[in-house]
Structure 1
Amino acid sequence: MVSIPAKQKIVIDSAYSSYYVVKVGGLKGLIPKADISLKTYNYVDPNGDYSYDELTADLQELNAWYPGFTKVETIGKSVDGRNLYAIKLGTGKSEISINGSHHAREHMTTNVIMEMLDQYASAYEKNTKISGFDVRKTLSQTSIYFVPMVNPDGVMLVQKGASSAKNPNQAIKLNNGSKNFKAWKANVRGVDLNRQYPAGWNTISGNKSKPGPDNYKGTKALSEPEAKALYDFTNKHSFKNTVAYHSSGNIIFWHYNQSGTQMARDKAIATKLSKQTGYSLVAPAKGGGGGYKDWYVAAKKRPGFTIEISPYVGNKPVPNSYFSSIMKKNLPVGLILANEK
């Protein structure tokens, strides 16, 4: 019997049934496949409905394989007590941030972010390029902070139904008595998290009068722990730009009352993102407010973008069959933004 320390690197000679034949210190032995994690440089399966549990496991695995240039942290808790995760990728002093799944039914944005993270980490480790970008060089200058699932309670309502909530009966009541949560956008207590930020909050149009599946802004800005966590997290950093991923429309929102050189700068970057993705830029207009991007642009005076990743699909999740084409368009987005001054 030979004891092997945890995380010891071993050579796999061959496979035999449910075992690997391994070489350790000149000896051969059998180890159950279930007891070994293999370095594959591909740890995220972004296909299908990507759950909170998968997110938690994948972040831990990525952090374990890439400890030199990743760091996972919990930036807050959801209403139902789920962790709100951020992961830092890179070693650079400059920072940008990318978030997804403010809206529950838009959970494909988490798939996009996690696959982006997975591919960037692999390219950093192997020192390879993505879309012409030197990933290791980029991330040694600018770190990317990903918040892949801002609204985990809401996402799980859409994917698993009321049984995923701590108070299923209350969730069903907020959903007008329906057990079908596919159209749900809000957090578990019926507040739209992208109407929660302190930018024009008092004058948001199209606001619902009570909690429910969508468009209720809450009793005050930042009343919900998920929005407050992302707000506080952003204020702790000095991100030079940010993206909030949403899911329906093939458009990019980039404007919130900027003018002059700030507006010209932001439109130039938005145009680069449009060229990469093929998504149209939304023309500047007054109004809006309450969104993360709106607050970031107004408060930080830096470029912020809301990217809607798919063709308009109505009040439902993006079909999983769209993922591959969406991913191809968006894979370099984080690197484009990391390379901005």
Structure 2
Amino acid sequence: MKVVSRSGDDLAYYSQLFQIPRVLIEDANPSITGGILPNGMEVQIPGFVIQEESRLDIDFSDIALQSQLPIDAILLLNQGEQKPFSVPVRVMHPMLVTEKPYDYQTLLDDLDILSFHYPFIKVESIGRSVLGKELHEVRVGKGDKLIHYNGSFHANEWITSAVLMKWLNDLLLAVTNDRTLCGMDCMPFYREVTISMVPMVNPDGVELVLKGEEAAEGKFDVLKMNNGNPAFYAWKANIRGVDLNNQYPANWEIEKQRKIPKVPAPRDYPGETALSEPEALAMKELAKRRNFERVLALHTQGKEFYWGYEGHEPEQAANVAREFEERSGYRAVQYIDSHAGYKDWFIQEFKRGGFTIELGKGINPLPLSHLPGIYKDTVKILMAGLYM
């Protein structure tokens, strides 16, 4: 919601008027450097929408009472003689519908919705997929401790994108409405942590699973790679048939030697070289640029998570793993016979905590009917990732 400033107003006063933490208003308006505002400046107030009212018998006092806001908040929004009358309405419920096949356009639409209503978040392109789709990173918070989350490394695990976006919406509701999430106050996290999130690492693959051969745009013979099967529900790779979570220089040569197939395929093919795929390279460069404290990569399925790699994990990772296990009921597994994953490379490269979380149980892609139960378990891990 936008308001137009009056001479003598400042952001601290707007924080009081709308009962929104001042830091959120400041971060929603980065071009405003503080102090008294000039007359006529547009100011973003996060967490509100405007409802238009065309009645002529408007009583400001009644509207203020109904809105549970000071009357000056109503006056600020209704300067002059404009019609219709504007009523500020606090956003109290999730704006996103994530219980649906979560394709790339849904992600773009949802990022636009959240950016519009919560302009203190930052959305940035970190690269492009093989077919040119932008890979988006969302950042929330202003702390020095950077925690990274990602989803849909594997195409038929697209439900992980829905989980992350649902959590993001819940976090934004919590910080703008002074609510808790999993029993925790979220504003301290906003001040002390920066959340980095890439909700959909493999958009081309997700589109293929959900929409079929047409998603390849005629540029790749995905039907041949899929052994003639027009149903792509078992497809994990990117559109070129490379498994993005087998692309990283953490004993990649071992995976290259032992993995079958030896050519592009729906799953497991590690590519001709490490980091050959733009999606994998973008994620590697992001980690280097941001210098994450911890990484959580969401996959499906198994109700377990993996947290070690070749002894490179820090001692504290065991404590984090115990907390994840206790809060969620997911089984903690330190080592598995696997290499070249994003988590593997992150642990090896940075000697910091990396976690691959296998959400839910069943056969991929997990059905949407599982989403509420998956989210109930997973949100406890996602929140614990912020404070451990």
The TM-score bracket by the shorter chain reads: 0.7 to 0.9
CA apart distance, 1:252: 0.5
Matches within 5 A, 1:261-340: 262-285=313-336, 287-313=337-363, 316-340=364-388
Q: 1:263 offset after TM fit, Å?
A: 4.8
What pairs up with 1:11-26 in 2 under 5 angstroms?
Answer: 11-13=51-53
Matches of 2:51 and 2:224 in 1, distance apart? 56
Distance change (3 Å), C-alpha of 1:238 and 1:41 = farther
List aligned pairs for 1:183-332, cutoff 5 A.
183-204=234-255, 205-258=258-311, 262-285=313-336, 287-313=337-363, 316-332=364-380
Deviates more, 1:120-129 or 1:221-230: 120-129
Which stretches of structure 1, 4 residues or more, deviate above 3 A after TM superposition? 4-15, 23-31, 37-41
> For 1:33-112, what aligned pairs fall within 5 Å after superposition?
39=91, 41-68=93-120, 70-112=121-163
How far 1:264 sits from its partner (Å)?
3.5
- RCO (CA 8 Å, sep 6+): is it higher in 1 or 2? 1
Residue 284 of structure 1: how far off its partner (Å): 2.7
Structure 2 alignment gaps of length 5 or more: 5-41, 56-76
Structure 1: how far apart are the matches of 2:95 and 2:274?
37
Is contact 1:208–1:217 with CA below 8 Å preserved after alignment?
no
Q: CA RMSD in A?
A: 2.6
Contact 1:85 1:148 in 2 (8 A): yes
Alignment of 1:126-145 (within 5 A): 126-145=177-196
Q: Which residue does the alignment assign to 1:18?
A: none
Distance 1:168 1:270 in 2: 42
Task: Give aligned-pair identity as a percent.
Answer: 35
Aligned length: 321
Distance 2:221 2:361 in 1: 33
- How far did 1:43 drift? 2.2
- The letter for the 2-side match of 1:339 is Y
Structure 1: segments with no counterpart, 5+ residues:
16-22, 32-36
Within 2, Cα distance between the matches of 1:217 and 1:325? 32
Residue 207 of structure 1: how far off its partner (Å): 3.6
Mapped partners of 1:60, 1:337: distance in 2:
26
TM-score, normalised with respect to structure 2: 0.77
Whether the aligned pair in 2 keeps the contact of 1:101 and 1:110 (CA below 8 Å) is yes
Q: State how far apart, in whole Å, the 2-side matches of 1:335 and 1:169 are.
A: 40
**1:47 is paired with a residue of what secondary structure?**
coil
